[in-house]
Amino acid sequence: MKHKKYIVGSFILFYSVLYFSYPYAASSYQFESYLAPSRMHWLGTNSVGQDVVALLIEGTKWSLIVGFVVATASTLLSVVLGVWSGYFRKWDSLWNGLANVLLVLPNLLIILLVIAFTGGQYTMLLVLMSVLSWPAYMRIIRAQVMSLKEREFIQISRQLGNSHLYILTRHFPAHLKSLVQTKWIMTFRYAILTEAGLAFLGLGDPVKVTWGKLLHDGFSNPTIFLNGSWTWLVLPPVLLLAIVTVYISFIIEGKNVKRTKSSLRKEVHCTKEAGLRGEQITLHYGVSKPIFENVSLDVQRGEIVSITGPSGSGKTSLARAMYGILPVAYYEGHGQMDGEWTSHPKFASAHYFKTIAFMYQDARAAFNPLLPLRQQFEELGVTQDEMNEALKEVQLYETIANRYPHECSGGMLSRVLVALTFVWRPHYVICDEVTSALDPILKKEIIFLLQKKAKQLNCGVLMITHDHDVAHAISDRTLQMTKENRDD
Amino acid sequence: MIEMKNVYQQYGNDVVLHDIHCRVTKGKVTALIGESGSGKSTIAELLVSLRSPTSGKIERHTSSIQYIYQNPERSFNPYWTMWASMEEALRGLKYPKKQWQAEIVPVLQQLELPKDTWHALPHECSGGQKQRFAIARALLQRPDVLIADEMTSALDPENEKKIIQYLKQIYESRSMAILYITHRFQELSSFIDDVYVLKEGRIVEYGMYERVMSQPKHSYTKKLIEASTYFERKRK
C-alpha cells in the first residue's frame, strides 16, 4: 500500500509544478504548426500551432475532473439510495425499478441521444454519466445493507436503544468501506474512458481540452502519420490514458490479492508411533504469550480420550492442530497420525473423511441446506447400500435420506451426522463439543451411539467437551487443560 | 413483568407454539426447558418482540428487556473492539462519558475477563469470552428483564457457576426478572425458581422448580430429568 501513496503523490507534485511553471498556455496559437519536440517545445506543436505539453496539462486537468466528479457523485448516489432502500425499505420498489430500467438500457445510447439534442457540454456529460452509473452498485450495496441489518449485533444495538442514524453512521461504514472504494475506483475509470471515447468520436465538449479531444484533433489530420508528428500528438494522450486506467486496475486487484506469507516450517522427524498424536504442541496464535506450551497427547485406536477445560484454554485449537487444519503459523510442534505428519498437504487428500473424521458441534450447520441428505452422502462417494446401512445403524429409516436438512429435527440431524462421520469406517474421530447444544435426552442418545460405533469399528475417539460428567463417564483418559498454560 | 396469554405461532403451515401461557416475574428466575426444536427460542424472540405472535397476547410491563443470543459469534461487530461494544450499551443511558470506564470495569472484572481481551477484536477472543462479554453488555444496560438463550452452554462448568453466582447477586439486588432457556437445568438448580417444560410447542408442565424436579407429573419431564442426571450418576 505504501508505494501506491508515493506514486500518486509524486504524480500530483510533478503535475502541479508543471501546471504552475510551464511557460506556454493551451489557448495560445502563436507557434508554427507541426514543430518537432525541441528544448523550447518539449513535445512540439500541433496543426494549429499550440504547444502540446500545455495542451496535455490542460487535458489532464479536465479528464481527471471528469473522473473525480462522476466517481464521487455516482458513488454518493449508490450509497444513499442503496442504504435508503435497503435499510429503511422506503420507496424500495421505486429505486429498484429505476435501477433496473437504467441497467437494461444501454448507457452509451442514452448518452448519444442526449448529446444529439443538447450539444454535449462538459457539465451535461458529467451529470449524465453520474446519473447513469449508480444502479449496479446501488443494488449490491442494498443487498449488503439488507443482510447487515438482520445481523445479530445490529439487532442488539437496536435493543440497546440506539437510533437508526447511530447504527448507520457507526456500524455500517466499516462493512461497506470496501464496496464503496471499489465502486469509486471503477466509476473513475469508466468516466475517464467514456469521456475519452466520446471526445475521440467528436461528440465531446468542443471547447474543453481533454485526452479524448487531443486524440480527436490529432487523428483529424491524416498527415500526422506522414510527417511523424503522431509520436508527439497521439502517443502522449494514449499513454496517459493507458497508464491511468491500468494503474487503477492494479489498485482494484491489489485490494483482493492479499499476499499471505507461506511460513514453511522445517520438517520434523516423525516418530513412527501408532495413534493420533499431538507432539510438543505450543499454541501461540502469533502473539508472544502462548495459550499453552508443550502439550503432548495421543489417542490409540479403540480408546476414548477427552479434553476438558475452561473456554479459551485452547481445547479446540489443540484438536485442530492434531488434525492438521490449524494454520501452522499459529503453533509449534506437530500433529501426526500413525507416523504421518497431519499438516502435510498430502495428508488431507489421503486421510480426511476416510481414516480420520472431524465432527463439529452444530449438526444443522454441518449440512448443506439446499441439498437432500442423500446427495450429501453421495458427495463423499458413499454408495446407496453403505448409506442405508449407516442410517440403519443410527436407527433411522432409509427414507430420511430424501429429506432436506430443514425437514429433519435436531435429533435426526445429529444422528445423521454420526452416520456420516462413521460411514467411511474412520480409524480416528475428533468430536468438538458435539453434545453441548443438545437437550439431555438427545445428548445421552448421541453419546451412546458414539460409544457403540467406536467400539464396533475399533476407532479412537478424541472428545472435546466441557461436560466433566460425560468425560469421566465414557472416556479412558482425560486431559484437563487449565488457564495457567499447563496441563495436568 | 411479561405475560404471554394464549399465544400461537405459525411458520407457514407449521404450528410451532400451541396455546402458550407463561409469565416472567420480577425477582424470579424462570427456566424454560425442553428438547431442541420445541419452540424455546421462539418464545424468547416473541418476548423481546423480535417476532409478533400469529395470535394471542403478550403483556409487557417494562420496556427494558435484554436478550442474550445463543451464539456469541454473531453478536459483535467484527470491526469493533470489545470495549467499543461495551460502550455502546451505555450510550443510550444518561451517564456522563467520564463515568463509562467506572461502569464497565467492575462488570468485566466480575465476569473474570482477562484485561488483555478488553480491547481485543471479537475474533481474538474465545467463544466463552465472547459469551461473557455479551452478558456484560446486557447487564450494563441494567435491564428489568433478562432473557438468556443458552447463555452459559458455551462455558465450562467452573465459569458457568461463577457467572451464575454473579448474576444471582445482581438480580437479587436489582430485583430483575430472568428467563433462562437451558438444557443444563441440573447444574443451575440453586438458581432457578420456576420452570416450564416444553415439548413440541406445548407447555407440558410448569411449576416451582423443586416440585417439578421431585414430583414430575408428565412422562416427558420424568424422561428429561432421568437423562440429565444419567452421566453424573454413572460417574459416581
Task: State the ipTM, two decimals.
Answer: 0.81
Q: CB B88 to CB A437 under 8 A?
A: no
The kind and range of the H/E element at A138 are: helix A135-149
Calculate how close chain A gets to B132, using CA atoms only, in Å: 10
Q: CB B153 to CB A437 under 8 A?
A: yes
**Reported confidence tier of residue B16, pLDDT bands at 50, 70, 90:** confident
B-chain residue closest to A148, CA distance: B77
Measured distance CA(A42)–CA(A64) in Å, rounded:
22
Q: Is the predicted pLDDT of residue A365 greater than 90, yes or no?
A: no
The kind and range of the H/E element at A149 are: helix A135-149
Give the pLDDT of residue B170: 84
State CA B209 to chain mean position distance: 17
Give the pLDDT of residue A259: 45
| Residue A268 falls inside a structural domain | no
Which amino acid is residue A41, in one-letter code? H
Are residues A204 and A324 both part of a single domain? no
Q: CB B74 to CB A468 under 8 A?
A: no
Are residues B148 and B195 both part of a single domain? yes
Are residues B90 and B123 both part of a single domain? yes
Q: CB B183 to CB A160 under 8 A?
A: no
Are residues A474 and A367 both part of a single domain? yes
Calculate how close chain B gets to A148, using CA atoms only, in Å: 10
Rg of chain B, C-alpha, whole Å: 18
The number of distinct structural domains making up chain A is 2
In B, which residues are within 8 Å of A159 by CB distance?
48, 65-67
Measured distance CA(A81)–CA(A129) in Å, rounded:
17
Are residues B53 and B151 both part of a single domain? yes
Nearest to A469 among B128, B224, B235 (CB): B235
Give the pLDDT of residue B182: 85
Closest CA to A241 of A417, A369, A415, A59: A59
A279 touches A343 (CB < 8 A):
no
Chain segment A87-129, per-residue pLDDT in tens = 998 889 999 999 999 999 998 899 999 988 888 789 999 999 9
Are residues B112 and B219 both part of a single domain? no
In A, which residues are within 8 Å of B228 by CB distance?
440
Q: Which domain holds residue B210?
A: 2-64+143-235
Domain of B54: which CATH number?
A: 3.40.50.300
The kind and range of the H/E element at A331 are: strand A331-337
| Residue B199 falls inside a structural domain | yes
| Residue B85 falls inside a structural domain | yes
**Reported confidence tier of residue B15, pLDDT bands at 50, 70, 90:** confident
Calculate how close chain A gets to B134, using CA atoms only, in Å: 10
A157 touches A167 (CB < 8 A):
yes
Nearest to B128 among A153, A310, A441 (CB): A310
A-chain residue closest to B50, CA distance: A155
CA angle at A453 for the pair B200 and A349, rounded to the nearest 5°: 105
Specify the residue for cell string 486496475: A249
Give the pLDDT of residue A271: 63
Are residues B59 and B151 both part of a single domain? yes
Q: CB A310 to CB B150 under 8 A?
A: no
- Average pLDDT of the residues of chain A: 85
**Reported confidence tier of residue A257, pLDDT bands at 50, 70, 90:** very low
State CA A28 to chain mean position distance: 51
Give the pLDDT of residue B235: 76
- pLDDT top residue among B117 and B184: B117
In B, which residues are within 8 Å of A467 by CB distance?
157, 231
DSSP notation for B165-176: HHHHHHHHHHT-
Q: CB B232 to CB A155 under 8 A?
A: no
Residues 6+ apart with CB under 8 A from A371: A379, A404
What average pLDDT does range B106-115 have in this prediction? 88
Q: Of the candidates A256, A290, A323, which is a domain's last residue?
A: A256
Nearest to A153 among B50, B66, B75 (CB): B75
Are residues B137 and B148 both part of a single domain? no
Domain of A162: which CATH number?
A: 1.10.3720.10
Chain segment A370-422, per-residue pLDDT in tens = 999 999 888 888 888 889 988 888 888 888 888 888 888 777 888 888 888 88
Are residues B229 and B152 both part of a single domain? yes
**Reported confidence tier of residue A265, pLDDT bands at 50, 70, 90:** very low
Calculate how close chain B gets to A160, using CA atoms only, in Å: 6
Q: Which domain holds residue A415?
A: 276-480
Of chain A, the end-to-end C-alpha distance in Å amounts to 47
Q: Is the predicted pLDDT of residue A256 greater than 70, yes or no?
A: no
Are residues A144 and A282 both part of a single domain? no
What average pLDDT does range B26-36 have in this prediction? 86
In B, which residues are within 8 Å of A443 by CB distance?
183, 227
In A, which residues are within 8 Å of B141 by CB distance?
160-161
A277 touches A427 (CB < 8 A):
no
| A vs B: CB pairs below 8 A | 114
Q: Give chain A's contact residues with B (Cβ, < 8 Å).
A: 151-153, 155-157, 159-162, 166, 171, 174-175, 308-312, 409-411, 436-444, 447, 466-470, 472-474
CA B30 to each of CA A471, B24, B27: distance values in angstroms, whole numbers, following the listed order: 29, 6, 10
Interface test mutation site (partner A, options B48, B69, B126, max chain A beta carbons within 10 A):
B126
Are residues A212 and A313 both part of a single domain? no
Measured distance CA(B9)–CA(B181) in Å, rounded:
18
Report the predicted TM-score, pTM, of the whole model to 2 decimal places. Answer: 0.76
Are residues B42 and B148 both part of a single domain? yes
Specify the residue for cell string 441521444: A113
Residues 6+ apart with CB under 8 A from A90: A84
Q: Is the predicted pLDDT of residue A269 greater than 70, yes or no?
A: no
| Residue A267 falls inside a structural domain | no
| Residue A486 falls inside a structural domain | no
Which amino acid is residue B62, in one-letter code? T
- pLDDT top residue among A60 and A40: A60
